[in-house]
Amino acid sequence: MSNCKLCLADCAFSGKDMKKGTCKGYIPMTNSDRVRAMSDEKLAKAINLLAEGESVIQYCRHLPECDEDLERDTVIPLDRCEKCALHWLQQPVKEDTTC
């Protein structure tokens, strides 16, 4: 999967490990891009690891309002968790991520 929005055949960076800032056409892969690029087999394994608690996606941003809810023994609203998950999906992939 190419991360270059220009992706020219005669690009000087073609086939090289491009880093942000080296090429004006480079767009870093996001977590959602990475999930979409998984094979069915890899995705099935990742889902199973998550379901069994053997893997965790670190999308929670530990917002102050969530800490307040927990201190009051109140359930954190699902829409707030979804916003954190969406934020994680839109972030560039970190090299050491699992799943």
Map out the domains of the chain as residue ranges: 31-89
CA distance 14 to 47: 34
Percentage of the chain with pLDDT > 90? 54
Mean pLDDT, rounded, of the chain = 81
Supply the pLDDT for residue 71: 95
The pLDDT of 62-76, averaged and rounded, is 94
pLDDT of residue 69 exceeding 80: yes
pLDDT in tens, 19-48: 555 666 667 889 999 999 999 999 999 999
Confirm if 47 and 19 have CB atoms less than 8 A apart.
no
Please give the backbone phi and psi of residue 26, each rounded to the nearest 5 degrees, phi first. -70, 130
